[in-house]
Structure 1
Amino acid sequence: MIVVLGLVIAVAAVAAGVAGVAANTSDVNRLTSDFSVFDYHFAGTTGELFLIGITVGVVGGVGVGLVAAGAWRSTRKGAATRRELRQSRKEIAAVQRDLAKTKEPAKKPAPAPAGARAPAWSMSKLLRKSDKGAAAAK
C-alpha cells in the first residue's frame, strides 16, 4: 500500500513540475537579470529556473535516499551479525554444559613400560672432565 501511495505522489509531483515549467516558459516570464552559480551564468525564463530547481531537488533526494539505504543496510548487517553471535554463544554454552555433565575424571598417565631404554644422552657425557684434573687429584 505504501508503494502505491509513493507512486501516486511521484506521478503528481512530475505532473505539477511539467505544468509549472510549461506555464512559465513564454517571453513574458523572462528573468529580469541573469544569475550565476559557480561562475556559470544562467539567463532564461522562470520555467527554466523552476526546472533547474526540480533537478537539484531530485539529485539531492537521490543522495539522501542512498545515504539512508546504506545506513539501513549496515544496520541490518550488524543486527544479523549480532544475532548469529548470540546464537553461536548459546550453542557453545549448551555444548559446555553437556561436556560438564559427561566429563570423566582425568586419568593418570600410564607408567613407562618396564623395558624402557635409557636416554641416549646424559649430562655426565656432556660435561666430561679432562684427564689432567683427575690425575692431579690422585
Structure 2
Amino acid sequence: MIIVLGLVIAVAAIAAGVAGVAANTSDANRLTSDFSVFDYHFAGTTGELFLIGIIVGVAGGLGVGLVSAGAWRSTRRGLATRRELRQSRKEIAATQRDLAEAERPAKRPAPARPAAPAWSMSKFLRKPGKGAATTK
C-alpha cells in the first residue's frame, strides 16, 4: 500500500513538474535579471530555472535516501551483532552451568512424593467467604 501511494505521489510530482516547465518556457517568461549559483550566471526562462530546481531537488532527495539507507543498514548490522553476542553469552552461561553441575558430588535422590491427581473438582468449588458476596 505504501509503495502504491509513493508511486502515485511520484507520478503526480512528475506531472506537475512537466506542466510547470512547459507553461513557463516562452519568451514572455524570460528572467529579468541574471540568476547565479557558484559564479555560474544563468539567463533563461522561468521554466528552465524550475527544471533545474527539480533536478537539484531530485539529487538532494537521492542523497538523503542514500544516507538514510546507509544508517538503516548499519543499524541492522549492529542489531544482528548484538543478537549474536547475546546468544553466545547464553550458550557460555549454559555450558558453565553444565560444567559446574558435573563437578558437584551426586545428590541422593529426593524421596518420592505421592502423585497428586491431575484434576480435582475442589479447585472449582466456591469456598465460603471468598469470591462473590453472600446474602444473609
Asked if Structure 1 and Structure 2 have the same fold, meaning a TM-score greater than 0.5 normalized by the shorter chain, the answer is yes
Corresponding residue for residue 98 of structure 1: 98
Q: Aligned pair 1:88/2:100, yes or no?
A: no
Unaligned runs of 5+ in 2: 106-136
**Cα distance between partner residues in 1 of 2:35 and 2:16:** 25
Alignment of 1:20 onto 2:1: no
Q: Deviation string for 1:40-76 (max 9, x for gaps)? A: 1101000001001101110000001111001111011
Partner SS for 2:44:
coil
Aligned match of 1:72: 72
SS at match of 2:41: strand
State how 1:1-138 maps to structure 2 within 5 Å.
1-103=1-103
Which digits, 9 at most, give the CA deviation of each residue in 1:97-134, with x for residues without a partner?
Answer: 001001268xxxxxxxxxxxxxxxxxxxxxxxxxxxxx
Letter aligned with residue 101 of structure 1: E
SS of the equivalent of 1:85 reads: helix
3-state SS of the aligned residue for 1:32? coil
Please give the TM-score of this superposition, normalised by the length of structure 1: 0.74
Q: Compute the RMSD of aligned alpha carbons.
A: 1.1
Q: Distance in 1 between matches of 2:31 and 2:50?
A: 12
C-alpha distance in 2 between matches for 1:34 and 1:74: 44
Letter in 2 for 1:46: T
Q: CA deviation at 1:14?
A: 0.4
SS of the residue corresponding to residue 41 of structure 1 reads strand
Distance 1:94 1:54 in 2: 59
Q: Which amino acid aligns with 1:30?
A: R
Distance, in Å, in 1 between the alignment partners of 2:35 and 2:57 is 19
